[in-house]
Amino acid sequence: MDRLRNSFLGQAWLILVLAGVFGALLAAVHLRLSPRIEENIRAEIMREIPGLLLGGEAVEGASITIEGELVTIEPTSGEPRALTIVEQPSSTPALYRVSEGESGAPLGWVARGQDHGYADVIDLLVGLTADTAQITGIYVLNQKETPALGDGIVRSDFRSLFVGIPTDSPLTVGRDAAEAAKSPYAIQALTGATVSSRSVCQIVNDTVAVVRNEIAGDVEDHDERP
């Protein structure tokens, strides 16, 4: 017994006991809280999807309730609408098929994209019409760009630039309004944050490309292709 006592374990028995107890404690806390955390993450995405597809103003000030895959929006004016959002298996970090009401017509797709921005990872959602021909909007989930410069990509005026841009050719970044007006695919870069704007466009292009060939692949065996 004393060989064990003054052996390595003997001296550090307090550490072993603490490690064991804390391991159990942490696992218990994790099990109790992780469903709530998943729920939070999922809720944040679910709350943004309607805004992405129906346009910002439609959901302005609306109260959104989420039950599983059914999202009901009660806008201040006009009648409530219900959307079902189903997560599709896809190579993008996440792809959701959004359709009207319980089993209505497909309204559009929302895909999630992640890549290295200027300072750190940029994680965003891209909304596409049902036939993936047009971008209906983007929403930045999280980013660590330089405050007051790069983090302009979160503001609604920058996001609104992406609405309605066709997706048949990749987006480009115009340094200023004139350059941006030249081609329908050009976005006017944020002043002083061209790198961030370019990375956002890069992520949107990659995600849209992946979604298009995946959806194009699915649509063949589905019904008509517009």
Partner 1 sequence: MTFLVILLASSTLLLLAVFMSFVLGWANKAFYVEVDPRVEQIDAVLPGANCAGCGYIGCTDYAEAVVNEGASVALCAPGGESCAEAVAEIMGVEVEETWPYRAVVHCGATLPQRLGVNDYRGERTCTAANLVAGYQGCVYGCLGLGDCVEACTFDAMKMIWGLVQIDYEKCTGCGACVETCPRGIISRIPFKAERVLVVSCSNEDFGNDVRKVCTVGCIGCGACAKLSELFTMDANLPTLDYEGAAVEEGDFEKSMEKCPMESLLYVGKPSAEDLAATIDEELPGRVEPDFETTVDQAEWRG
Partner 2 sequence: MELFADLLLIAIGAALVNNFVLTYFVGLCPFLGVSRRLDTAFGMGCAVTFVISVAALLSWTMTEFVLRPGAPLPNWIWSSLNPAAEAGEVDLSVLSYIVYIFVIASSVQLVEMYVRKFFPPLYKSFGVFLPLITTNCAILFACLEIMKHVVARDWGLAESLTLAIFGGVGFTIAIVLMAGIREELELCEVPESLRGAAITMIVAGILALAFMGFSGIGANVEKLLNP
Partner 3 sequence: MSVREPAPLERFLNGILPENPVYRQLLGLCPTLAVTAAMKPAMTMVAATAFVLICANLITSLIRHLLKPHLRILVFTLTIATFVTIADRTLAAFAYPMSKLLGPYVPLIIVNCMIISRCEVCSSKQGPKAALADAIGVSLGFLLALASVATVREILGNGSWFGIQLVPESFPTLILMILPPGAFLALGSLLGLATWFGHRRAARASEPETGSA
* Chain residues in the site for partner 2 (CB under 8 A): 19, 22-23, 26-27, 29-30, 34, 114, 116, 118-121, 146, 195
Candidate list 9, 29, 86, 216; residue touching partner 3; CB under 8 A: 29
> Any contact of residue 8 with partner 3 (CB under 8 A)?
no
Six-digit token string for 118 = 């200027």
- Non-local (6+) Cβ contacts of 8 within 8 A are none
Touching partner 3, residues 118-157 (CB under 8 A): 142, 144, 146-148
Q: Fill in the DSSP letter of residue 207.
A: H
114 binds, among partner 2, partner 3, partner 1, none (CB under 5 to 8 A by kind): partner 2
User: Which is closer to partner 2, CB of 66 or CB of 119?
Assistant: 119
Nearest-angstrom CA–CA distance, 23 and 82: 44
User: Does residue 16 touch partner 3 according to CB under 8 A?
Assistant: no
What the block records as the tokens of 221 is: 């065996």
Quick check: 23 binds partner 1 (CB under 8 A)?
yes
CB half-sphere exposure, 176, CA atoms < 13 A: 1
Using CB under 8 A, which of 27, 37, 41, 216 touches partner 1?
27
Q: Considering Cα of 143, then 160, then 173, then 47, what sign does the dihedral take? A: positive
Other CB atoms within 10 Å distance of the CB of residue 153? 21
Give the integer Cα–Cα distance in Å for 226 and 219.
Answer: 10
| Minimal distance, residue 190 CB to partner 2, in Å | 14
- Which uninterrupted H or E stretch holds 216? helix 194-221
Q: Considering the complex, what minimum distance in angstroms separates the CB of residue 33 from partner 2?
A: 9
Interface residues with partner 1 (CB under 8 A) are: 7-9, 11-12, 15-16, 19-24, 26-28, 30-31
